[in-house]
Chain A
Amino acid sequence: MMLFGIGIGVLVGGGLLTLVLKKSAGINKLGMASVVAGNVFVIVAALLGLSGRYAGEVYQFFLPLPVGAVLFSLSPLSSFFLLIIAVVTGLAAVYAPKYLAHYGEMPWRFKAHWLLYNLLAASMMLVVTAQNAVFFMLAWEGMSLSSFFLVLFQNERTKVRRAGWIYLVFTHVGAACLLVMFALLAQVSGSFDFDAMRAAAAGFSPGLKAAIFVLALVGFGMKAGFFPMYVWLPEAHPAAPSHVSAVMSGVMIKTAIYGIVLTLGLLGGGQGTELWMGWTLVVLGLVSGIFGIAFAAVQQNAKRLLAYSSVENIGIIATGLGVWFIGMASSNEVLARLGLMAALLHTVNHALFKSLLFMGAGALQLATETLDLDRMGGLLKKMPRSGLAIIAGAVAISGLPPFNGFVGEFLLYSSVFAQGFGSSLVRAVYVIAILGGLSIIGALAVFTFTKLVGTSLLGEPRTDHAAHAHEVPASMYVPMLVLAGLCLFIGLFPLPVMSALKLVLADSGLAVVGQLPSGIVSSLAAMQWVAFALIGLIGVFALVRSRVLSLHKVENTSRHKVGSTTWDCGYHNPTPRMQYTASSFAQPLASFAQPLYSPHRDGSIGPDLFPAPVARKISFPDLILDRAIKPMYSWISRAFETFSIIQHGNTHWYVLYIVIALLAVLFWSFVI
């Protein structure tokens, strides 16, 4: 516990200390060092907490709050999230200095950045450990505000400011819901402490439970990015610096997942859930997953693509949570255990590979000065190490073995398969719907990340920038390779990870205990061997390939040499501009699902007799922001425009309005 306190202290102190330095390089180094040092303490504390050492203990910090006290605990569940936060924010901090350096020498902005970055890390850690609603909301708001200012790093750009505002609005609507939720809970239980709320949960009426669940879903959903509320993600992530996007997408939105898990505890665990809550989460999760990945598939901006893919992954996590809720409500212990385990495992996985991919996008951006996939190409040869990490991340996020994404999704599939939610026909339809949804998500994910890797790393460079790209500094690709290594580790050794997750499940607030079904354990063990075999196979193929190529070389000396490029479309000597682009890769999908995307096309390819230069741009307006929220707002503003006839500009009329209103009230009070 002391360790955790020291860690937070180092983070905050280090952030403040950067303010006194003058040179950009020093600021960046100190900022990075403070995050790494603080996080080492936190990681040790989290590992101890995960082992159950602090279970059931609640600590109080001497600082008094207006309502309640600063209470926190390092339960296994909190420690689990703490560990993810500390690892990812630490690695992103290592990545940050060289990335920030390309913005030039701007000491004040870097000072603000590091202070806010450290505060963001610290407030996320406090969110997942808080045991008092007031303290929780304080940390939550600290997290929202610091990340808002981090998004505004390049605040001189209009687009960045716009993205920042969208994020701020969404996050505060969510926070408002959470305030109402905690106020309701406090009113019923008489205290803002989570323990008191848990104790009072048995007496909650079904209506109150429903209200709390819906408020939590909307409030936390705004932050997590569930389907209709994800709007800020594709706006804010591309606008923020890459390591900030990595932290926000990798771990910050996971605090909302923690929030939902926490809410179930506050509702009284298994007795508090109802079946419809689970189904709501499952449906919401699947819809988020399908829409998220479908929109990711057609994006041309690498970070926008990754942001939509976060919506998809949050959807998968929500589906897992939904299965857990269903299992709890129908007292199906095994289903509950598998669902929660799948959700938590996918939370770790997504934190690892999504932050890896955002850092990768940042590396590509640094090398080519663009995020547009259509302007990249052939980068694997220029930047082999970051390229390797990005490929690993892409394979992992697509849910393919031997990486961790596969293990997480396998667990979710098998939870649905193994239990089947009973045996009636209606249930069978549900099961098929869940499995179908997950398969669509999986297939589109493979499509999306094939596109990402294929158009940015493979092929020929499409622009001069891409042609002259070179590898990023080691401090940037090493964190990415570490993340890729962690992804591979979970993929290769799922059983140790499962036993660590079992510690989390034993958390008193969750009340999910017991063993995994033996079938699943044995298939996980088998998977481990399959993964090793796969890697061995890849190694063998690589060996054979190099042997064959070297043999070929000898023969080539005698005959004339035949060379060809990737994506040559069957042409003998194509120019790089004839390659498949990211847009053309997504074109079949876009035209197949035209009603979903309603793409916006600028310029046309006319049927002229002689070819002339043409420009064509295609963009995909967001389903919710551009096609629901914006039209709604413009309708509202037009509706209120009609009231402007009252605003006459003439003082006499204004006074007359007041007089008429006063007289009306006066006469009304005497007539009635």
Chain B
Amino acid sequence: MTSLQNMLLIVVLITDLTMAANSRLGTCINITAIQGFALGFLPLAIGLEKGMNFELVAIAVIGIALRGILFPYILHRSLLNSGTSRELKPIVGYFLSVAIVLVLIFASLWISIRIDFIAPQLLLLSTVALSTIFAGTFFIVGRRLAIMQILGYILLENGIYCMGLAFVQDIPMIVELGVLFDAIVAVFVMSVATNKIHEEFEHFDIQKLDSLKG
């Protein structure tokens, strides 16, 4: 791993942590945008080390376009529609959230060391991947507002993408496109659903959506 790649990965880790500490939804969307850019440049950094080819460039361009630009744009739009700007009463408080994400990062490290089919020089990559997955699921569980759930889902997808990089080094284009297509559909559906929920109930606090239980 070159220092450029390491730097990008550390940016990803930092974005996970800042997400945990931030209550402003707009800022959180921007943070995922930054994470998207960092992950988008990662194939290019790998290309610089091992020799650039068309596939890596294409993956980078598509990744940046979707993760860095399209998703944040859609989410900002639905945020604007909702008129909400902050998550005021999260289920897990901000200080505790940072602590939990830190614990999750250490847990990821613990697991990554024990995965024996990952090369030692890729330890950082798999740690970042796992902790992003865990952080994503944590945001889904620990936040009330639907926008934050979507962000959690995007983090989850980003983590899976990283994990793929860690396992097979150069992701075939088709796999990467498959993952991204998944994410696009999910983000679209979820934003539409969020807007509908907001229209219907004047809020999108999903904790209040419990009347369907049997």
User: Is A666 in contact with chain B by the CB < 8 A criterion?
Assistant: yes
Surface stretch bound by A, among B63-71, B159-167, B203-211: B203-211
User: Is A652 in contact with chain B by the CB < 8 A criterion?
Assistant: yes
Give the chain B neighbours of A655 by CB distance below 8 A.
137, 140-141
The 8 A CB mask of B105-142 against A (1 = contact, 0 = none) is 00000010010000000000000000000000110111
B207, A652: Cβ atoms under 8 Å?
A: yes
- How far is it, in angstroms, between the C-alpha of A667 and the C-alpha of B108 when the chains are bound? 10
- How far is it, in angstroms, between the C-alpha of A659 and the C-alpha of B141 when the chains are bound? 9
Please provide the chain A residues from 639 to 672 with a CB less than 8 Å away from any CB of chain B in the complex.
Answer: 644, 647-652, 655-656, 658-659, 666-667, 670
Q: How far is the CB of B207 from chain A (nearest CB, A)?
A: 6
Give the chain A neighbours of B140 by CB distance below 8 A.
652, 655
- How far is it, in angstroms, between the C-alpha of A656 and the C-alpha of B137 when the chains are bound? 8
Residue of B114, B141, B211 touching A652 (CB-CB under 8 A): B141
A659-B137, A659-B141, A670-B111 known; A652-B91 Cβ under 8 A: yes
Give the chain A neighbours of B114 by CB distance below 8 A.
670
Residue of A651, A658, A659 touching B209 (CB-CB under 8 A): A651
A655-B137, A655-B140, A655-B141 known; A649-B213 Cβ under 8 A: yes
User: Is B214 in contact with chain A by the CB < 8 A criterion?
Assistant: yes
Chain A residue nearest to B142 (CB atoms) is A652
Give the chain A neighbours of B207 by CB distance below 8 A.
650-652
Please provide the chain B residues from 166 to 214 with a CB less than 8 Å away from any CB of chain A in the complex.
Answer: 206-207, 209-214
Q: How far is the CB of B133 from chain A (nearest CB, A)?
A: 9
Give the chain B neighbours of A667 by CB distance below 8 A.
111
B211, A649: Cβ atoms under 8 Å?
A: yes
Give the chain B neighbours of A659 by CB distance below 8 A.
137-138, 141
Chain B residue nearest to A650 (CB atoms) is B210
Q: How far is the CB of B163 from chain A (nearest CB, A)?
A: 12
Q: How large is the interface on A (under 10, 10 to 19, 20 to 34, 35 or more residues)?
A: 10 to 19
Give the chain A neighbours of B91 by CB distance below 8 A.
652
Chain A residue nearest to B91 (CB atoms) is A652
Give the chain A neighbours of B211 by CB distance below 8 A.
649
Residue of A648, A652, A656, A666 touching B213 (CB-CB under 8 A): A648
- How far is it, in angstroms, between the C-alpha of A658 and the C-alpha of B134 when the chains are bound? 12
Please provide the chain A residues from 449 to 488 with a CB less than 8 Å away from any CB of chain B in the complex.
Answer: none
Q: How far is the CB of A667 from chain B (nearest CB, A)?
A: 8
Q: How far is the CB of B87 from chain A (nearest CB, A)?
A: 13
Which residue, B140, B142, B206, has most C-beta atoms of chain A within 10 A?
Answer: B140
Q: How far is the CB of B117 from chain A (nearest CB, A)?
A: 13
A651, B206: Cβ atoms under 8 Å?
A: yes
Chain A residue nearest to B130 (CB atoms) is A666
- How far is it, in angstroms, between the C-alpha of A644 and the C-alpha of B213 when the chains are bound? 9
Give the chain A neighbours of B206 by CB distance below 8 A.
651-652
- How far is it, in angstroms, between the C-alpha of A651 and the C-alpha of B211 when the chains are bound? 11
Give the chain B neighbours of A650 by CB distance below 8 A.
207, 210
The 8 A CB mask of A330-359 against B (1 = contact, 0 = none) is 000000000000000000000000000000
Chain B residue nearest to A654 (CB atoms) is B141
Give the chain B neighbours of A648 by CB distance below 8 A.
210, 213
Chain A residue nearest to B115 (CB atoms) is A670
Chain B residue nearest to A671 (CB atoms) is B114
A651-B206, A655-B140 known; A666-B214 Cβ under 8 A: no
Chain B residue nearest to A647 (CB atoms) is B213
Please provide the chain A residues from 78 to 125 with a CB less than 8 Å away from any CB of chain B in the complex.
Answer: none
Q: How far is the CB of A37 from chain B (nearest CB, A)?
A: 55
The 8 A CB mask of A179-223 against B (1 = contact, 0 = none) is 000000000000000000000000000000000000000000000
Which residue, B206, B209, B210, B212, has most C-beta atoms of chain A within 10 A?
Answer: B210
Q: How far is the CB of A543 from chain B (nearest CB, A)?
A: 75
- How far is it, in angstroms, between the C-alpha of A670 and the C-alpha of B142 when the chains are bound? 26
Q: How far is the CB of B84 from chain A (nearest CB, A)?
A: 18
- How far is it, in angstroms, between the C-alpha of A649 and the C-alpha of B207 when the chains are bound? 9
Chain A residue nearest to B207 (CB atoms) is A650
B137, A649: Cβ atoms under 8 Å?
A: no
A649, B212: Cβ atoms under 8 Å?
A: yes
- How far is it, in angstroms, between the C-alpha of A666 and the C-alpha of B110 when the chains are bound? 11
B111, A666: Cβ atoms under 8 Å?
A: yes
Chain A residue nearest to B114 (CB atoms) is A670
- How far is it, in angstroms, between the C-alpha of A666 and the C-alpha of B91 when the chains are bound? 25
Please provide the chain A residues from 283 to 304 with a CB less than 8 Å away from any CB of chain B in the complex.
Answer: none
Q: How far is the CB of A600 from chain B (nearest CB, A)?
A: 32
- How far is it, in angstroms, between the C-alpha of A655 and the C-alpha of B152 when the chains are bound? 12
Give the chain A neighbours of B137 by CB distance below 8 A.
655, 658-659
Q: How far is the CB of A100 from chain B (nearest CB, A)?
A: 43
Give the chain B neighbours of A652 by CB distance below 8 A.
91, 140-142, 206-207
Which residue, B91, B137, B209, has most C-beta atoms of chain A within 10 A?
Answer: B137
- How far is it, in angstroms, between the C-alpha of A662 and the C-alpha of B91 when the chains are bound? 21
Q: How far is the CB of B34 from chain A (nearest CB, A)?
A: 25
Give the chain B neighbours of A656 by CB distance below 8 A.
141
Give the chain B neighbours of A644 by CB distance below 8 A.
214
- How far is it, in angstroms, between the C-alpha of A667 and the C-alpha of B111 when the chains are bound? 8
Q: How far is the CB of A670 from chain B (nearest CB, A)?
A: 5
Give the chain B neighbours of A649 by CB distance below 8 A.
210-213
Please provide the chain A residues from 620 to 652 with a CB less than 8 Å away from any CB of chain B in the complex.
Answer: 644, 647-652
- How far is it, in angstroms, between the C-alpha of A648 and the C-alpha of B214 when the chains are bound? 9
- How far is it, in angstroms, between the C-alpha of A652 and the C-alpha of B142 when the chains are bound? 7
- How far is it, in angstroms, between the C-alpha of A339 and the C-alpha of B69 when the chains are bound? 86
Q: How far is the CB of A669 from chain B (nearest CB, A)?
A: 9
Give the chain A neighbours of B111 by CB distance below 8 A.
666-667, 670
Q: How far is the CB of A651 from chain B (nearest CB, A)?
A: 5
- How far is it, in angstroms, between the C-alpha of A541 and the C-alpha of B212 when the chains are bound? 78
- How far is it, in angstroms, between the C-alpha of A644 and the C-alpha of B212 when the chains are bound? 13
Q: How far is the CB of B130 from chain A (nearest CB, A)?
A: 9
Q: How far is the CB of A189 from chain B (nearest CB, A)?
A: 47
Which residue, B91, B141, B206, B212, has most C-beta atoms of chain A within 10 A?
Answer: B141
- How far is it, in angstroms, between the C-alpha of A670 and the C-alpha of B91 when the chains are bound? 30
Give the chain B neighbours of A647 by CB distance below 8 A.
213-214
- How far is it, in angstroms, between the C-alpha of A55 and the C-alpha of B49 when the chains are bound? 85
Give the chain A neighbours of B212 by CB distance below 8 A.
649
- How far is it, in angstroms, between the C-alpha of A184 and the C-alpha of B214 when the chains are bound? 41
Chain B residue nearest to A644 (CB atoms) is B214
Q: How far is the CB of A661 from chain B (nearest CB, A)?
A: 11
Chain A residue nearest to B212 (CB atoms) is A649
Which residue, A644, A647, A652, A656, has most C-beta atoms of chain B within 10 A?
Answer: A652
- How far is it, in angstroms, between the C-alpha of A655 and the C-alpha of B141 when the chains are bound? 6
Q: How far is the CB of B190 from chain A (nearest CB, A)?
A: 12
Q: How far is the CB of A618 from chain B (nearest CB, A)?
A: 39
Give the chain A neighbours of B142 by CB distance below 8 A.
652
- How far is it, in angstroms, between the C-alpha of A667 and the C-alpha of B140 when the chains are bound? 21
Chain A residue nearest to B138 (CB atoms) is A659
Give the chain A neighbours of B141 by CB distance below 8 A.
652, 655-656, 659
24 contacts between A and B (CB under 8 A): A644-B214, A647-B213, A647-B214, A648-B210, A649-B210, A649-B211, A650-B207, A650-B210, A651-B209, A652-B91, A652-B141, A652-B142, A652-B206, A652-B207, A655-B137, A655-B140, A658-B137, A659-B137, A659-B138, A659-B141, A666-B111, A667-B111, A670-B111, A670-B114
4 nearest A-B residue pairs (beta carbon) = A649-B210, A649-B213, A670-B114, A656-B141
Q: Which B residues fall within an 8 A CB radius of A?
A: 91, 111, 114, 137-138, 140-142, 206-207, 209-214
* Additional pairs, 16, CB under 8 Å, beyond known A644-B214, A659-B141: A647-B213, A647-B214, A648-B210, A648-B213, A649-B210, A649-B211, A652-B91, A652-B140, A652-B207, A655-B137, A655-B141, A658-B137, A659-B137, A666-B111, A667-B111, A670-B111
